[in-house]
Amino acid sequence: MNTVVLVSGRGSNLKAIFDAIDQRSCAAKIVGVVSDRSNAAALDLATSRGVPTRVVPLRKGDDRNLWNEVLASEVSKLEPELIVLAGFMRVLGPPLLEGFPGRIINVHPALLPAFPGHSGARDALDGGVRITGCTVHVVDSGVDTGPIIAQAAVPVLADDTADTLQARIQVQEHRLLPRVIHEIATGSIQLDPLRVGTPAGDEDRSLVVPEL
Catalytic residues: 108
Pairing of strands 104-108, 29-35: unpaired
Options 64, 77, 118, 205; binder of ligand GAR; rule CB under 6 A: 118
Tell me the window of 24-32, 70-78, 101-109, 194-202 that interacts with ligand GAR (CB under 6 A). 101-109
Q: State the DSSP H helix or E strand holding residue 13, giving kind and residue range, or none if neither.
A: helix 12-22
Shortest distance, CB of residue 129 to ligand GAR, whole angstroms?
A: 16
Considering the complex, what minimum distance in angstroms separates the CB of residue 149 from ligand GAR?
A: 14
The reply to whether 178 sits near ligand GAR by the rule CB under 6 A is no
| Residue range at the interface with ligand GAR (CB under 6 A); choices 31-39, 69-77, 107-115, 195-203 | 107-115
User: From CA 36, how far away is CA 58, in angstroms rounded?
Assistant: 6
DSSP 157: P
Binding mask 132-161 for ligand GAR (x = CB under 6 A): ------------x-----------------
Phi/psi of residue 106, nearest 5 degrees: -135, 150
CA–CA distance from 114 to each of 38, 42, 110, 144, 156 (Å)? 31, 27, 7, 10, 14
Q: Which residue of the chain is nearest ligand GAR when measured via CB?
A: 87
CA contacts within 13 A on the Cβ side of 11: 22
By the criterion CB under 6 A, which residues form the site for ligand GAR? Answer: 9-13, 42, 86-87, 107-109, 118, 120, 144, 170, 173
